[in-house]
Structure 1
Amino acid sequence: CRLPAAGRWCFVAVVPRGNRVYRDRADFFMESDEWLLSRIRLPRHLLMELCNALEPQLRRETRRSNALPVPVQGCSTLGFLATGTFQREIGDRSGIPQPSISRTMPAVLAAIMSLSERYINFPSNNDQQTGIKRDFYAIARFPNVIGAVDCTHVGMKPPSINDYAYINRKSYHSVYVQIICDARMSILNMVARRPGGTHDSFIFQNSNVGHRLHQGALHGQSHLLGEHRTKNLMSATSTALTRRCPAGGTLLYSPEKTCNIILACGVLHNIALANGVPFADLQPVDPMSRDPWPQAPHARALRRREDLIRLF
Structure 2
Amino acid sequence: MEPNLTRPTKRSHAIPAHLQVLSVLGFLATGTFQREIGDRSGISQPSMSRILPAVLRGIIKLMPEYIQFPYGAQRQTEVMQGFSAVANMPGVIGAIDCTHVRIKAPSGDAFAYINRKNFHSVNVQLICDAKCVLINVVARWPGGTHDAFILRNCAVGTRLEDGAVRDGWLIGDRGYPLTPWLMTPLASPQTPQELSHHY
For normalisation by structure 1, the TM-score amounts to 0.56
Q: 1:165–1:195: 8 Å Cα contact kept in structure 2?
A: yes
Q: Does 1:109 align with 2:44?
A: no
Cα pair distance change 1:65/1:122, threshold 3 Å: same
Q: How many corresponding residue pairs?
A: 191
Consecutive unaligned residues in structure 2, runs of 5 or more: none
1:80 corresponds, among 8, 22, 27, to 27
Distance 1:67 1:239 in 2: 64
What residue is the counterpart of 1:168 in the other structure?
Answer: 115
Where does structure 1 lack aligned partners over 5 or more consecutive residues? 1-53, 241-305
1:104-150 Cα deviation digits (max 9, x unpaired)? 20111110121112211111122211121122122332221111101
Aligned equivalent of 1:229: 177
Percent identity, aligned pairs only?
Answer: 51
Amino acid of the structure 2 residue aligned with 1:88: R
- The aligned residue for residue 186 of structure 1 is 133
Note the alpha carbon deviations across 1:292-312, whole angstroms, 9 max, x for none.
xxxxxxxxxxxxxx9x84995
Report the RMSD for the aligned CA atoms in angstroms.
2.4
Instruction: Say yes or no: does 1:203 pair with 2:150.
Output: yes
Could you say which residue in structure 1 is the equivalent of 2:92? Answer: 145
Q: 1:238 aligns with which of 184, 187, 191?
A: 187
Instruction: Determine which of 69, 76, 81 is the counterpart of 2:15.
Output: 69
Note the alpha carbon deviations across 1:23-48, whole angstroms, 9 max, x for none: xxxxxxxxxxxxxxxxxxxxxxxxxx
* Larger mean Cα displacement after TM superposition, 128-137 or 78-87: 78-87
Secondary structure (helix, strand or coil) at the match of 1:154 reads strand
Letter of the 1:195 partner, please give it.
P
Contact 1:126 1:219 in 2 (8 A): no
- Higher-Rg structure is 1
In 2, distance between residues paired with 1:135 and 1:219? 18
SS of residue in 2 equivalent to 1:115: helix
User: Is the counterpart of residue 136 in structure 1 residue 136 in structure 2?
Assistant: no
- Residues 54-96 of structure 1 show CA distances to partners (whole Å, capped at 9, x for unaligned) of 222223345x324642434223212323444322111112222
